[in-house]
């Protein structure tokens, strides 16, 4: 069968293959070749399907890796942001510059509020 298919692939017709290989039944030869061609097509379709599945898996894996990379970058940005912010003290999350702090101290002194710098 390998020799028959090799000749068929080279472009020989059924009569030429039968004459070259001394096959008497042209109809049997034709049926055998057609059966082998159908098998090849089926194998090709299966291989193509497997390749598509593998390609989809590869794309899915690349997408997951991209999501993981983005999440790592987001965490890194958040950590960098946290490390550059001033430390929180007291009960309220208040940030202020020196001018605002001095104004706060004067207001507290004038109104009689007791405060400590650490608070």
Query: What was the pLDDT predicted at 117?
Result: 63
Q: 31 with 6: CB under 8 angstroms?
A: no
Query: What was the pLDDT predicted at 36?
Result: 93
Q: 118 with 89: CB under 8 angstroms?
A: yes
Q: 11 with 23: CB under 8 angstroms?
A: no
- Tell me the whole-structure pTM to 2 decimals: 0.48
24 Cβ neighbours under 8 A, 6+ residues apart: 18
Res. 119: pLDDT tops 60: no
pLDDT in tens, 59-105: 999 999 999 999 999 999 999 888 887 665 555 556 778 888 888 88
Cα separation values, 44 from 2, 35, 105, Å = 18, 14, 83
């Amino acid at each position: 069968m390998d020799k028959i298919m090799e000749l068929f692939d080279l472009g020989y017709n059924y009569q030429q293959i039968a004459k070259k290989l001394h096959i008497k039944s042209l109809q049997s030869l034709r049926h055998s070749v057609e059966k082998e061609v159908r098998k090849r097509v089926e194998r090709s379709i299966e291989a193509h399907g497997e390749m598509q599945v593998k390609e989809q898996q590869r794309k899915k894996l690349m997408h997951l890796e991209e999501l993981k990379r983005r999440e790592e970058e987001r965490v890194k940005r958040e950590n960098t942001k946290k490390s550059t912010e001033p430390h929180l003290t007291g009960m309220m999350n208040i940030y202020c510059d020196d001018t605002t702090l001095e104004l706060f101290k004067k207001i507290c002194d004038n109104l009689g509020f007791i405060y400590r710098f650490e608070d």
